[in-house]
Amino acid sequence: MKTLLTVLLALSLLAPVFAGEWITETVDSAGDVGRNTSMALDSSDKPSIVYEDKSNYDVKFAQWNGSSWQIEAVFSTGYFEIGTLSLDSSDVPHIACHDFANRDLEYASWDGSNWQLETVDSTGNVGYHPFMVVDSSDNPHFSYTNQSGQLKYATWAGSNWHVEIIDTTDSVHASSLATDSSCYPHIAYYHHDSDELTYTHWDGTSWQIETVDLEVGYPYFTSNVSISVDSNDFPHIAYYDDDSQYLKYAHWDGSAWQIEIVDSAGFYGSWVSMALDSSDYPHISYYDENPANYDHMYARWDGSAWHTETVETTGDVGNYCSIAIDSSGNPHISHFDWDNKDLRYTYWSGGAAVDSASLSVNAKDEGVLLSWSIVGDTPASVSVLRGLTQNGSVDISGSLSGSATSWLDVSVEAGVEYAYWLEVTELDGTVSRFGPSEIVVPEAISKLTLSDPYPNPASSALTISYELATDGAVSLSVYDLSGRLVETLISGEQTAGRHSVNWDSSTSATGVYLIRLEADGEAITKRAVISR
């Protein structure tokens, strides 16, 4: 597999916009609770959350029963940390955690009455950074490391636990696991010695290991990488680039890794968690680690562009986050309130007020014309933004009416490439951006120009385009090969700039015609063929 850094360009965007609000509640506040959360939604979209109780060194399980949260300790009477949760096809919870006291990888499953606890791996000092998923056959898979930093993998073999070392380089830090339609595991992880993001998967015969991204640094936190597998069994990875301090996203398109920067504001991307919706579009929950903010952030891909927003800003929130997507495509996120040491749960509530929006840009003589259409409710206002990146863009139009459909940017220079975004503010205050749409402004017209007619040959009609360097009298006529005037298309004064006219040739005989443009004392002739 090759790695390819891509830049996404879009001249026309069609993007669904969420309208509603984020709802946040405290799930557990009994002590220092809520670190290393792991969340899943059952078949009825009800949430379950696994998390640490740092006060008692327990791993706890919280489940919403439709009216209240039911909370209990699954692993206790020891020193347990970093639990992960997965639900099987019957909505039965499965939990993995690290037994720090005994240096083991532990596993629990619910049998309908009690938690069944067992040790998966106790060979040496193991179980660090555990991650677990249950595949479509309801078998659990685990990725984790031993004390020396070797990547290990375990799964249920039918009668016993199958355990193996996948990567022996002694430098693995943080892993994330997903399974495909064949129940094969896919694992993304960091190599902190080489500062690489690495990906491995089981192809049915052996483990295939490759580098996805170079020089991504050595993330301090364990939850800085998240992997999902789409409906084509292609991997998607969200991760924090510690060197650049960017939130990044990589996905395999069938021939190469496509790598993008999702958020480049700096300090963005630690405690990252990603899930794919039914369209295979990624949704990412992450933490703004900037000491001036410490905010909970969210990003989603709508098929054309990334949309990022701040979920919560009050206090130090968004640590240890875990995201899941419900059957309506709405995000649900568990996370830690660092100030109050509480477990928090946030979800998106509301329907779509703006169903879609499209944005296009076109060069005009007087500037760049932006045109857009919005399907759904009319927003409160829109604004046009311009810049090299979304975070570096500036508002150049000011607030426009929500019913506006176009705006002309006259402050442009010939030969320069511009990127534009449309910012939509809905009636409830929700703000979304669409873009970028990019265009290179053409050079100024310096001479009389007549383009070849299009189409050519033509059957019934063709378009003739031309450019005038100055204002003045213009004549545009059609002649046959004998020099006889067939039709005068333009005769009179016109302003300098780009012009076009259509000639309806449906009543003209088949053959060759001459298109003659006269202006500024010059004349240009082009040939047009009518053929039926």
Question: Could you state, in order of their start, the residue ranges of all structural domains in the chain?
Answer: 21-86+122-349, 354-440, 449-530
Those residues with Cβ within 8 angstroms of residue 227's Cβ, 6 or more apart along the chain or in another chain: 176, 177, 178, 186, 187, 188, 199, 235, 236, 237, 274
pLDDT of the residue at 141: 97
**Fold matches, 21-86+122-349 and 354-440:** no
pLDDT of the residue at 60: 95
pLDDT of the residue at 136: 92
Structure tokens at 53: 């109780």
CATH of domain 449-530: 2.60.40.1930
Cα–Cα dist 139/531, whole Å: 68
Q: Please determine, looking at this structure, whether the domain spanning 21-86+122-349 carries the CATH number 3.30.70.340.
A: no
Helices (H) and strands (E) in the chain, counts: 0, 44
pLDDT of the residue at 267: 62
pLDDT of the residue at 218: 58
| DSSP β-bridge partners for residue 358 | 373
Please choose, from the candidates 195, 147, 151, 154, the residue with its C-alpha nearest in 3D space to the C-alpha of residue 169: 151
> Measured in Å, how far apart are the chain's first and last C-alpha atoms?
51
Cα–Cα dist 17/101, whole Å: 48
What is the pairing mode between strands 246-252 and 256-263? antiparallel
The full DSSP string for 450-487 is EPPPBSSSBSSEEEEEEEESS-EEEEEEEEETTS-EEE
For residue 70, the tally of other CB atoms under 10 A from its CB is 11
pLDDT of the residue at 355: 67
pLDDT of the residue at 352: 53
Structure tokens at 319: 């640590």
For residue 385, the tally of other CB atoms under 10 A from its CB is 20
Is the Cβ–Cβ distance between 296 and 312 less than 8 Å? Answer: yes
- In tens digits, the chain (532 residues) has pLDDT values of 433 333 333 333 333 344 468 999 999 999 999 999 999 999 999 999 999 999 999 999 999 998 899 999 999 888 888 889 999 999 999 999 999 989 999 999 999 999 999 999 999 899 888 999 999 999 999 999 998 889 999 999 888 999 999 998 877 777 899 999 999 999 999 887 778 899 999 999 999 999 999 877 655 545 689 999 999 999 999 998 877 788 999 999 999 999 999 988 766 556 899 999 999 999 999 998 888 888 899 999 988 889 888 999 888 998 999 999 998 889 999 999 999 999 999 999 865 567 677 889 988 878 899 999 887 778 889 999 998 766 678 999 999 998 899 999 999 888 888 999 898 888 767 788 887 888 988 877 778 889 999 899 988 899 999 988 888 999 999 999 999 999 999 999 988 888 889 999 988 999 999 999 999 889 999 999 998 7
Top-level class of domain 354-440: mainly beta
Lateral strand order in the sheet of 196-202: 172-179, 185-191, 196-202, 207-213
Is the Cβ–Cβ distance between 448 and 471 less than 8 Å? Answer: no
How many degrees, rounded to 5, is the angle at CA 437 between CA 433 and CA 443? 145
pLDDT of the residue at 298: 94
